[in-house]
Amino acid sequence: EAGVTQSPRYAVLQEGQAVSFWCDPISGHDTLYWYQQPRDQGPQLLVYFRDEAVIDNSQLPSDRFSAVRPKGTNSTLKIQSAKQGDTATYLCASSSRGGSSYEQYFGPGTRLTVL
Amino acid sequence: GDQVEQSPSALSLHEGTGSALRCNFTTTMRAVQWFRKNSRGSLINLFYLASGTKENGRLKSAFDSKERYSTLHIRDAQLEDSGTYFCAGDRGSALGRLHFGAGTQLIVIP
């Protein structure tokens, strides 16, 4: 079974540029999460979806960040006008509500550097 | 985040020895996950516990929801165990959002 896949693996931007990250969750997983992990810190949730619906985006900087999951499968996280403070690894995770476990599985992440 | 206190922040072990990592939660968690970040930066799932203990090879984890803590024990440490270990608690709110600790950087010394 394929795990969570993400692309690109790395991105380097100048401040003010835009970037999109793409995530393909584990097949059949209905819940998808985007986390931001600054260097030397634990991941922090940005937004998550159940199927195509946004469940919680309260931690997403809404003026520059957006996330969609239009068909309830793949998802895209976009940053408009990136800032140096956005430098971090962006992780995608997925889980399934089936059964009693909500175990999350993570992709390899996209390491973003904003110069 | 501030709901999960992970310790120690860094740990050095000689090959063949062991130690324990700990996470204290400031609120009740439904479950805990433990991960290891490998050399490629990927989070590898080690354990998912809703209660009790689980063991996998040289690793053993325990979770006490009532006392609000979890531990990860490593025995007979090997060089390939080096990496950063994270615990993450699930508060049980809709769909299992995880709250991560800051991580423990483990170095295994020959």
Q: What is the pLDDT of residue A102?
A: 82
What count of residues does chain A have?
Answer: 115
Residue B95 has pLDDT above 70, yes or no: no
* CA nearest to B79, candidates B21, B11, B14, B18: B14
Give A25-74 pLDDT, tens digit per residue.
999 999 999 999 998 889 999 999 999 999 988 889 878 999 999 998 99
Q: What is the pLDDT of residue B67?
A: 96
* CA nearest to B7, candidates B71, B95, B96, B82: B71
Q: Which of A103, A105, A110, A113 to mutate to test the interface with B (most CBs of B within 10 A)?
A: A103
Give B7-45 pLDDT, tens digit per residue.
999 999 999 999 999 999 999 999 999 999 988 888 999
Phi first, then psi: give them for residue B79, nearest 5 degrees: -55, -35
Quote the DSSP letter at residue A40.
T
Q: Which of B40, B44, B63, B95 to mutate to test the interface with A (most CBs of A within 10 A)?
A: B95
Query: What's the rounded Cα separation, in Å, for the pair A31 and A42?
Result: 20
Residue A109 has pLDDT above 80, yes or no: yes
Closest residue in B to A107 (Cα) is: B42
A15 vs B: CB within 8 A: no
Q: What is the pLDDT of residue B39?
A: 82
pLDDT mean across residues, chain B = 93
Give B49-85 pLDDT, tens digit per residue.
999 999 999 999 999 999 999 999 999 999 999 999 9
